[in-house]
Amino acid sequence: MTIRRTWGVAVCAALAGVFTLPACSRQKTSEVNPIVPSVKFNRTRVPLGSALEITYTWTLEPGAKPLGQDYRALVHFLDSHEVMLFDDDHTPVPPPSSWQPGQSYSYTRTRFVPLYPYVGEAEVRMGLYPFPGRGERPALKGEDKGFREYKVATLELLPQTENIFLVYKEGWHNPETHPENPAIERTWTKKEALVSFKNPRKDVVVYLEGDTCVKCFSKTPELTVSVGDGVGVRFPIEGPQVFLKKIKVKAEDLGDEEWVDLHLSMNESFVPSKLDPPLNDDERELGLDIYHLYVAEADVVGSPEDVEDAAPLGGAAAARP
């Protein structure tokens, strides 16, 4: 639940039984625990739909007090009217209960910017909130924008057209919402799927986030991602959890044509209605369940963590025209 301070006194009174909100009474002051939240991005001008590498840092000054319990990180991205566009709430690494005075803790996460009908400046706020259970948000050191949300940065959101445009060809089903979370959109492929993008003639990084029904395969699912002139990666999908792959492809491996083909190939596919026992009544051929597929010029995204270099592929992948 997201609460904006512009709701006023009525909201403060209504929520008084949920948790203590110091902003509801400006006469009361809370002792600040000198923990400073901060954030850095791999770029500050970001097109909608693109991948954003976010490095979070929590700096505990020498006088900071141990938190004594675990908290979730609050990360909100707001438009110029202080309306939240999206969030990146998460569990910090390591957990806050282990933080010690005089230490700093940093880690990087990849977030895909959602497609919203908004471009312009976005304000980024951070904080901590108790999880699980009720309690107060701790008062941290920084510019409190209300309700112990601290302004840490700004971003400029650009139109989606600033991205490398992908053309989806054969092997794709229609996008659909996730059955457990309607806010998440996904797209299933068949056993093989093809997408093309205009050749930037520069090194690129391919971001692929997805999963599949591992138990629906007769053997461990294996995905081959091939790009351009027969280079790519091949890897097993060991479990049902969502994976994120970042694959760097050199400019010379994209070929000389105006458009570059990107192939996704599973070692098997399945039809949910024909499994024994049937998974459901879905009669489609399914391979990979994709949440995000994004291609960016390497010099734009910088040096993201966990990037794998595309290598020559043998067999059918290398033989494709």
pLDDT of residue 29: 61
Range of the domain at 314: 164-319
Which residue among 108, 135, 160 closes a domain?
160
Q: What's the mean pLDDT in 124-130?
A: 97
Q: How far apart are the C-alpha atoms of 188 and 289, rounded to whole Å? A: 4
Instruction: State yes or no: pLDDT of 23 exceeds 60.
Output: no
pLDDT of residue 181: 80
Of the pLDDT bands very low, low, confident and very high (cuts 50, 70, 90), residue 12 is: very low
Q: Are residues 230 and 217 in the same domain?
A: yes
Q: Are residues 203 and 151 in the same domain?
A: no
165-174: Cβ within 8 A, 24+ apart: 165/197, 165/198, 166/195, 166/196, 166/197, 166/293, 166/295, 167/195, 167/196, 167/197, 167/259, 168/195, 169/193, 169/194, 169/195, 169/196, 170/194, 171/264, 171/287, 173/284, 173/286
pLDDT tens string 259-277:
999 999 999 999 999 999 9
Q: Are residues 26 and 153 in the same domain?
A: yes
Q: Are residues 169 and 239 in the same domain?
A: yes
Q: Can you tell me whether residue 301 is helix, strand or coil?
A: helix
CATH of the domain at 226: 2.60.120
**Count of domains observed in the chain:** 2
pLDDT of residue 316: 52
Average per-residue pLDDT in the chain? 89
Residue 147 near residue 21, CB atoms below 8 Å = yes
Q: What's the mean pLDDT in 85-89?
A: 96
Q: What's the mean pLDDT in 46-70?
A: 96
pLDDT tens string 279-311:
999 999 999 999 999 999 999 999 999 999 999
Residue 215 near residue 200, CB atoms below 8 Å = no
Instruction: State yes or no: pLDDT of 22 exceeds 70.
Output: no
Instruction: State yes or no: pLDDT of 320 exceeds 90.
Output: no
pLDDT of residue 184: 84
Q: What is the pTM of this model?
A: 0.87
Q: How far apart are the C-alpha atoms of 42 and 46, rounded to whole Å? A: 10
Which residue among 138, 160, 182 closes a domain?
160
State the maximum Cα–Cα separation within the chain, in Å, rounded to a whole number: 73
Q: Are residues 132 and 206 in the same domain?
A: no
Query: Where is average pLDDT lowest: 48-57, 115-124, 125-134, 218-227?
Result: 125-134
Instruction: State yes or no: pLDDT of 7 exceeds 50.
Output: no
Percent over 90 (pLDDT), the chain: 82
Q: Are residues 154 and 168 in the same domain?
A: no
Instruction: State yes or no: pLDDT of 71 exceeds 70.
Output: yes
Q: Are residues 16 and 127 in the same domain?
A: yes
Q: Are residues 242 and 149 in the same domain?
A: no
As given in the structure block, the two tokens for residue 52 are: 């954003």
Q: How far apart are the C-alpha atoms of 98 and 112, rounded to whole Å? A: 29
Q: Are residues 188 and 60 in the same domain?
A: no
CATH of the domain at 121: 2.60.40.1930
Q: Are residues 116 and 172 in the same domain?
A: no
pLDDT of residue 76: 98
Q: What's the mean pLDDT in 170-176?
A: 97
pLDDT of residue 135: 83
Which residue among 137, 160, 183 closes a domain?
160
Q: Are residues 226 and 210 in the same domain?
A: yes
Look at the block and give the residue holding tokens 């399945």: 270
Q: Are residues 208 and 314 in the same domain?
A: yes
Instruction: State yes or no: pLDDT of 123 exceeds 90.
Output: yes
Q: What's the mean pLDDT in 22-44?
A: 77
Residues 6+ apart with CB under 8 A from 273: 279, 280, 281, 282, 283
